[in-house]
Structure 1
Amino acid sequence: MYPTMVDAAKAGEISNFMFAGILPIPVFNYSGSVIPIIFGVFALSYIYKWVDNIVPEAARTVITPTITLFISGFFALTVIGPAGIYIGKGLAWMLDVLFGISPIFAGVVMGLIRPASILVGMHHAMTPIALENFATKGYDMLMPMMFIANLSIVGAAAGCYFKEKSQKERSIVLSSVLSGILGITEPALFGVLTKYKKGFLAATIGSCVGSAFIGAFGVRLYGYITSSIFSIPAYIGPYFIYAAIGWVIAFGLSFVLSYLFVVKMDRS
């Protein structure tokens, strides 16, 4: 993020810097990038341990961080950063291929994997792809599908509310629904839908259908924003009506299916 490098990358003036007149360092604008940062910090953790082992204990407080940052920074600029940029572009390209085959098919696929990816913590892997789309295209069609998946999870959890017998359990479900509306779906997933697995199935179906619908009409966002009710104003524009219908489909379908699928006290 050194200003000279960022400005040069934006202007497209040069393709690389020469380190010591020998080693070319590729020039990229890393603003808004995620993958290079993730891999850079991952490499730094190992470099730090290696440096800490060879530096005398008395000098570790000052010397270890200095050497670690020098080595990891150089490694990030020469290897990790450029590799991360190309990996991000590759992921975005694969997503483009998916949408090129069929936006509806892309919606079904994204709707299918999104709820499950949140369960295993892999949903953050989709964010770099969205950021790459914003950087290269100026818009993204993935973030709207993430919002659809969130609403499906909330709808399915809301359907389970009517299947709980005790007031205590109902209050847990209600709090998870409220947090899901605000963009935090983990309580609904781990606290409700992992208990009612048929509710999770309902959420996945709602996510697939809703994502396929907005994919068919090309719903897109022009800036990154979290997937919650607070992101609704960001959709105002030519695609708003289709986005709104998709939200209703995702929430309504998952709610109804969850209500129908889930049996009271069904722990299967």
Structure 2
Amino acid sequence: MKKKVAILGSSGGNLYSLGGKDPDKLLGELLLQLEAAGMECGSLQFIAAKGSMDSVKETTEAALYSWNEDSSEPYIKLEGTLKEVNKEAEKTDLEISEKIKNGEIDGLIFMSADPNGANKKAVEAAAKMKLPATGTGGTSMATISSKGLNVISTSGTTGTTNRTRAVTFVTSLSKHWGISYRPIIGKVTASDKSQETSPWKRINIRGMMLASLPGFIAMALVLALSKIPALSMLGDVFDLMINALPIILAVIAAKQVADLDDVSIVAGIVAGVLSTNGGIIGGIIGGIGAGLLVQYIFRKCVEWKFPATTVNIAAGGIAGLISGLIVYFLFAPIALQLGEGIRSLLDTLVGMNPIVAGLIAGLLIWPAIIGGIYHAAILPIVLLEMETSGNSFLGAVDMVGLVMVSAGITLANIVAPRDKGEAAVATPGFLINVGFGTFVEAAYPFMFSNKLIFAGAIVSSGIGGLLVGLFDVRGTAYVPSVMAPFLSDNMIGFIIAMVGSLVCAFVITLLVNLFAKKKARDKDELLSA
């Protein structure tokens, strides 16, 4: 038989700002962890106020959450003023106390509960039945313990999150009952039944690079603005942002690997600050290490029955510190040299013959993105280039070879589509490519439906890459096309390359479409004759 747990409490004072103001997420995380341990909710009484309990009044709006046994999910039993909700909560309290007396509840979880008011009857019944209880809320838990309840673990609320509280509660109950429990990390709703994956399996370098891209684009914008004489002071800001990139990547890596909300973010920041000497590769190493250690330290501290606040402090602070120091003293020089080596190799290859290098890059970039190689190999190199200069040779090829070619193909299908439906498909793709510098996949339907358009895309991309090499351009994609030239080191050259690839893709696609339409008309005339 599954152990049945009663969840009792409120959105609280301090808890309100730490998850209590969103009861659906708070309860969803707790239900998810209960399910992971093979337990289930037997009763629920949660008072959610529209403000911190430290400053509410009887007229404050509130809602009473209860448990629907038929659908096995929370529901709002009553909405009204806090006075009305508290009155209804007393009835729910009495119902739960009866269930406790009848042996229908095996344990309790308290969150900023009111043992002298809304939860009085349930606390008294649980004390008589010697049920195990765990919870947060320093004052309320001290009062609950004084009433004779078997409190197996307790903590304040400060420094906790929905996830860390839920994991702490369920771990305490699991150990008390001797139940095997492995927390589910990375899920936020009880409706998600998938199993937790190993932290090692959540390491995804491509995902980290993609998630950090906004930071690199922000740096490129600062670089462009710093070239304006009146804004030359932004040059120092650019240098500062370069040093911040490893921190950004460390935070993303730690969050991805551990996914323990604010705890993993803090660990990533600490590790990232200590990993700046290793560049973005050092930041990634530090963040991954912090993420792995966060989970390990967190679970060990919970097993040792540390208070939830202490668990968070130890996991976030110590994990980040250990990982960061390892990178600082051991891996930073290696990571920095590795990054420099990759950049030097690319610079050497481009320097030998930039025109040929651009042509080859342009011809290969479409097969690379279609084959899934782009985000795994090319994007990391682009970001490594941008780490020092704010723009990139391959970034420029990306803009002219992918974005502008996609824009040219979609524009041709707006001007002269093979059928009316294609124009409707092409229009949003064109606008997004031009307006935001992304969504090159908009050209896929047209490329995959006609081999000539596909070949034209590769040829146009090759020509664009050739022009990038000819003018020795460094730039970036993922920005509006009208802005991209200002973020490059050769504005005129970049404009020529962008226009060249767009016009080439447009003309080839237009001719293919016109030929296809003429062929269709000739066929119709032949059939009608």
Fold in common (TM above 0.5): yes
Does residue 112 in structure 1 map to residue 358 in structure 2? no
Mark the CA change 1:48 to 1:148 in structure 2 (over 3 Å): closer, same or farther. Answer: same
Does residue 102 in structure 1 map to residue 348 in structure 2? no
- Say if 2:275 and 2:327, in contact at 8 Å, map to a contact too: no
> Which blocks of at least 5 consecutive residues in structure 2 are unaligned?
1-238, 244-273, 518-529
Whichever residue aligns with residue 249 of structure 1, its letter is G
Q: Secondary structure at the match of 2:482?
A: helix
Whichever residue aligns with residue 323 of structure 2, its letter is S
Q: Secondary structure at the match of 1:229?
A: coil
The residue number in structure 1 matching 2:204 is none
Distance apart, 1:175 and its partner CA: 0.3
- Aligned pairs for 1:32-111 (under 5 A) are 33-57=279-303, 58-59=305-306, 60-111=311-362
The residue number in structure 2 matching 1:16 is none
Whichever residue aligns with residue 199 of structure 1, its letter is I
Distance apart, 1:256 and its partner CA: 2.1
- Candidates 425, 440, 447, aligned match of 1:172: 425
> Which blocks of at least 5 consecutive residues in structure 1 are unaligned?
1-5, 11-25
Does residue 131 in structure 1 map to residue 386 in structure 2? yes
Whichever residue aligns with residue 481 of structure 2, its letter is I
- Say if 2:359 and 2:466, in contact at 8 Å, map to a contact too: yes
Does residue 143 in structure 1 map to residue 418 in structure 2? no
The residue number in structure 1 matching 2:482 is 230
Q: Secondary structure at the match of 1:230?
A: coil
Whole-angstrom CA distance in 2 between matches of 1:195 and 1:35: 40
- Say if 1:157 and 1:199, in contact at 8 Å, map to a contact too: no
Distance apart, 1:95 and its partner CA: 0.9
Q: Secondary structure at the match of 2:495?
A: helix
The residue number in structure 1 matching 2:7 is none
Mark the CA change 1:101 to 1:91 in structure 2 (over 3 Å): closer, same or farther. Answer: same
- Say if 1:107 and 1:212, in contact at 8 Å, map to a contact too: yes
- Say if 2:399 and 2:477, in contact at 8 Å, map to a contact too: no
- Say if 1:173 and 1:191, in contact at 8 Å, map to a contact too: no
The residue number in structure 2 matching 1:259 is 510
Whichever residue aligns with residue 174 of structure 1, its letter is T
Mark the CA change 1:214 to 1:174 in structure 2 (over 3 Å): closer, same or farther. Answer: same
Whole-angstrom CA distance in 1 between matches of 2:450 and 2:316: 48
Q: Which structure exhibits the higher relative contact order, with contacts defined as CA atoms closer than 8 Å and separated by 6 or more residues?
A: 1
Whichever residue aligns with residue 234 of structure 1, its letter is F
Distance apart, 1:113 and its partner CA: 3.3
| 1:26-77 deviations in Å (ceiling 9; x for gaps) | 99656xx433323332333323333334333443333222221122211232
- Candidates 394, 405, 411, aligned match of 1:152: 405
- Say if 1:99 and 1:106, in contact at 8 Å, map to a contact too: yes
Question: Which structure has the larger Rg?
Answer: 2
Mark the CA change 1:249 to 1:225 in structure 2 (over 3 Å): closer, same or farther. Answer: closer
| 1:115-152 deviations in Å (ceiling 9; x for gaps) | 344442334213323224517xxx75443323212212
Whole-angstrom CA distance in 1 between matches of 2:511 and 2:389: 39
Mark the CA change 1:91 to 1:75 in structure 2 (over 3 Å): closer, same or farther. Answer: same
Distance apart, 1:181 and its partner CA: 0.8
Distance apart, 1:191 and its partner CA: 5.8
Whichever residue aligns with residue 111 of structure 1, its letter is G
- Aligned pairs for 1:199-238 (under 5 A) are 199-220=453-474, 226-232=478-484, 234=486
Distance apart, 1:235 and its partner CA: 6.3
Mark the CA change 1:85 to 1:229 in structure 2 (over 3 Å): closer, same or farther. Answer: same
| 1:238-259 deviations in Å (ceiling 9; x for gaps) | x444333222210011122233
**Number of residue pairs the alignment of both structures matches:** 233
Q: Secondary structure at the match of 1:34?
A: helix
Whichever residue aligns with residue 129 of structure 1, its letter is L
Q: Secondary structure at the match of 1:254?
A: helix
The residue number in structure 2 matching 1:15 is none
Distance apart, 1:209 and its partner CA: 1.0
Q: Secondary structure at the match of 2:433?
A: helix
Mark the CA change 1:133 to 1:46 in structure 2 (over 3 Å): closer, same or farther. Answer: same
Whole-angstrom CA distance in 2 between matches of 1:88 and 1:110: 20
Mark the CA change 1:146 to 1:55 in structure 2 (over 3 Å): closer, same or farther. Answer: same
| 1:84-133 deviations in Å (ceiling 9; x for gaps) | 32222111111112112200111012213333444423342133232245
- Say if 2:363 and 2:458, in contact at 8 Å, map to a contact too: yes
Mean Cα displacement is larger for which, 79-88 or 143-152? 79-88
Mark the CA change 1:201 to 1:54 in structure 2 (over 3 Å): closer, same or farther. Answer: farther
TM-score w.r.t. the length of structure 1 is: 0.70
TM-score w.r.t. the length of structure 2 is: 0.38
Q: Secondary structure at the match of 2:483?
A: helix
